[in-house]
Amino acid sequence: MKKFCLLLTAYCLLFSLLPSACSLSSVQDKRILLGTTVEIKAVGQDREELQRKINLAFAEIDRLEKIFDFHNPKSELSRLNKDAAQQSVGVSEDLFFVIKKAVEFSELTDGAFDPTINSPNKEASYKDIGLNEKKRTIFFSREGLKIDLGGCAKGYIVDQVAKGLRESGVSSFLINAGGDIIASGREWKIGIQHPQGRNKILRVLKLRNKAIATSGNYLRKHIINPQSKQVAEDNILSSTIISNSCLKSDILATAVFVLGKDKGLRLIEGLKDAEGTIVVKQEERIETIFSSGFNGGKDEKK
């Protein structure tokens, strides 16, 4: 699954600053992590202190990436995939939490999201993952099952980095990890890339203390329906979810794309902390559909 990189036109709305804000500094830094460009922008009083805290945030991303990397044979996830069909495997809090959430959302979406999609055994599913929360162990009840957290680990990592920044005293910041975004503190502008044009903006949103993620087939089809094991077939071009958790937005954006317009919209409407927009192609016309509580932004000229 590939995420749109939400075209980041995010910046702090200066007119919303308090009178004392003239002394505030802004620090922006980016690194190549998680297989993409991760950018963090923070606002505060002391530039050096902000940079130090941003450096710590990048170090935390690097630590967590080593847990969840499906392609790294030395990652904790790879070790779990290797051994869990033979015996229960004890795992870290981070890995257990994300797998537990992945299973919960798989159940919620009736398998439209499934972290076992890349298993060698195509009969495997999230239902074959056994979780023992008390012992914090995981067991696979089917041989050939492998968990791939590419559809949610990045969202979790962004959530954790945001939590760390807040706990360190940084309240106003924006994190963009290849389209998985958290906007915190003051109001930020986020431009959503048009699904049919790399340099076109579909819609500009104003976000504060929210997470956003977008899924879509950009340039080539590549999002797989876990149930059919085929490319997700629908006229959806992209789905964007806003919620209080980047992990949730990450998973739901994929699930809505797989479910299709009608089922996807029903899923969003049934959740308290989630709103979304679905872009569909109707013959030669592009249509944008919003959930009932969606409130933010304006359309840009096509």
On whether both 132 and 194 belong to a single domain, the answer is: no
pLDDT in tens, 117-134: 999 999 999 999 999 999
Question: In the chain, how many domains are there?
Answer: 2
Q: Are residues 281 and 183 in the same domain?
A: yes
Cα–Cα distance for residue pair 252/243, rounded to 1 Å: 10
pLDDT at 106: 97
The answer on 163 and 49 residing in a single domain is yes
pLDDT of residue 228: 52
- CATH classification of the domain holding 123: 1.10.3980.10
Low-confidence ranges of the chain (pLDDT < 50): 1-2, 4-21, 219-221, 297-302
Output the pLDDT for position 200. 79
Indicate if 52 and 86 belong to the same structural domain.
no
Within-domain flag for 146: no
For residues 218 and 192, is the Cβ–Cβ distance under 8 A? Answer: no
pLDDT the model gives residue 167? 98
Domain for residue 18, yes or no?
no
Q: What is the pLDDT of residue 10?
A: 42
Answer for the pair 194, 201: CB distance below 8 angstroms, yes or no: yes
* CATH number, position 197: 3.10.520.10
How, if at all, do strands 274-282 and 236-243 pair? antiparallel
Q: Are 273 and 166 found together in one domain? A: yes
- pLDDT for the residue numbered 225: 54
Residue 147 lies in a domain: no
In a domain, 194, yes or no: yes
SS3 state of residue 263: helix
Q: Are residues 36 and 177 in the same domain?
A: yes
Structure confidence by residue, pLDDT tens digits, 230-264:
555 568 888 999 999 999 999 999 999 999 999 99
Q: Do residues 156 and 276 share a domain?
A: yes
Calculated CA dihedral for residues 36, 211, 11, 1, nearest 10 degrees: 30
Both 99 and 236 in one domain: the answer is no
Q: Does one domain contain both 109 and 251?
A: no
Instruction: Identify whether 223 is part of a domain.
Output: yes
> E strand or H helix at 239, and its extent?
strand 236-243
140, 168, 191: which is the final residue of a domain? 140
Is there a single domain that holds both residue 207 and residue 271?
Answer: yes
The reply to whether the predicted model has a pTM over 0.85 is yes
**Helix spans in 45-202 (H):** 47-68, 76-83, 93-108, 153-167
DSSP 21: G
Phi first, then psi, for residue 132 (nearest 5°) are -115, 100
Give the model's pLDDT for residue 1. 44
Q: What per-residue confidence (pLDDT) applies to 296?
A: 57
| Strand pairing class (180-184; 172-177) | antiparallel
Q: Which domain holds residue 44?
A: 27-62+152-299
Q: 163 in a domain, yes or no?
A: yes
Q: Mark whether 278 and 244 lie in a shared domain.
A: yes
Token pair 């317009």 in the structure block, residue: 261
Same domain? 194 vs 49: yes
